[in-house]
Structure formats: C-alpha cells, structure tokens
C-alpha cells in the first residue's frame, strides 16, 4: 500500500469535514449530509480499487 493513498484519504476527510461544518453552520444540513456521503463514496471507491489490485496481484502470484 502506498503512503500516497493514506494522504489522499486524509485530505478528502479534512476537506469533507470543513465543508460539512461550513454548511451546517449556514443552516444547510441537507447539503452537508450530501457532501459527507459523497466523500464517503469517493474514499470507498479508492479503497475498493486498491483491494481489487491486491486480488489481481494474488491471482498472478499463485497463477490462478
């Protein structure tokens, strides 16, 4: 696993947290929730891609 992935996930988390706070303070709770869900989906897509790459590596390693 690359350290770059951890930094990207952390950056997305910080950005989502800031946007969530700004939108919540402005009274736009629905948009704040959508930003949070979008951030979660983006991070999950990144993690799923890394897991798929791991499975491909294991398949190639064992010749499956």
pLDDT in tens, 10-53: 999 999 999 999 999 999 999 999 999 999 999 999 999 999 99
Give the list of residues 6+ apart from residue 18 with CB closer than 8 angstroms, or none: none
Tell me how many domains the chain contains: 1
The residue segments making up the domain with residue 19 are: 3-62
Angle at 13 between CA 42 and CA 17, to 5 degrees: 115
Angle at 36 between CA 28 and CA 20, to 5 degrees: 45
The reported pLDDT for the residue numbered 64 is 77
Question: What is the percentage of the chain residues whose pLDDT exceeds 90?
Answer: 92
Give the list of residues 6+ apart from residue 8 with CB closer than 8 angstroms, or none: 46
pTM listed for this prediction: 0.80
């Amino acid at each position: 696993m690359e350290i770059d992935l951890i930094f990207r996930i952390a950056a997305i988390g910080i950005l989502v947290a800031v946007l969530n706070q700004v939108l919540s303070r402005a009274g736009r709770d629905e948009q704040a929730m959508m930003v949070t869900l979008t951030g979660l989906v983006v991070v999950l897509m990144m993690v799923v891609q890394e897991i798929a790459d791991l499975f491909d590596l294991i398949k190639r390693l064992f010749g499956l």
